[in-house]
Amino acid sequence: MKKINTEDDKLITFLKDSGLDKPSANFAYRLKHNIVEQFKRNYTVEYKKEERLGKCILVILIFFNLLMLYYLNPFSIQPMISISVAAFILGLVTLIIIIKKNKTGYLNSDS
């Protein structure tokens, strides 16, 4: 069952007394806009902590993977293949970072 608070009851009686049965279109638009903006703000604040935690975990995993790669010493077997694969991966990561920055507007010429 739906319970009505005393504050809601006061608001309902005030709206009935003032003759405001239906809000204007501008009011509905502003209310919807404010709700969407509030959701965006809360969403970004809420998930920044999780993003930082995820980035920390990724950095730790990459560090241990590089440590294992150093321990296995793949350059002693065939250094040209290892160097070319490492250069390709580094170039791919650089390209992905540039594309992401371009999408977010850091490198746009319009700014």
Tens of pLDDT, residue by residue over 33-82, are 888 888 777 666 666 777 788 889 999 999 999 888 888 877 677 778 87
Structure confidence at residue 3 (pLDDT): 57
Residues 46 and 81 in one domain: no
For residues 87 and 81, what is the distance between their CA atoms, to the nearest angstrom? 10
Which residues in 47-76 are b (16+ Cβ under 10 Å) and which e? eeeeeeeeeeeeeeeeeeeeeeeeeeeeee
In sequence order, what E strands does the chain have? none
Q: Enumerate residues 6+ apart whose C-beta is below 8 A from 108.
A: 102
Residues 111 and 97 in one domain: yes
Residues 99 and 55 in one domain: no
> 99: closest CA among 90, 89, 108?
108
Average pLDDT, integer, range 6-32: 69
The number of C-alpha atoms within 13 Å of 52 and in the hemisphere containing its C-beta is 6
DSSP 76: G
pTM tops 0.75, yes or no: no
- How many domains does the chain divide into? 2
| Segment 96-109, tens digit of pLDDT | 998 888 876 555 55
Domain that holds residue 104: 76-111
Average pLDDT, integer, range 74-92: 83
Q: Enumerate residues 6+ apart whose C-beta is below 8 A from 49.
A: none
Residues 46 and 11 in one domain: yes
Residues 35 and 65 in one domain: yes
Structure confidence at residue 72 (pLDDT): 82
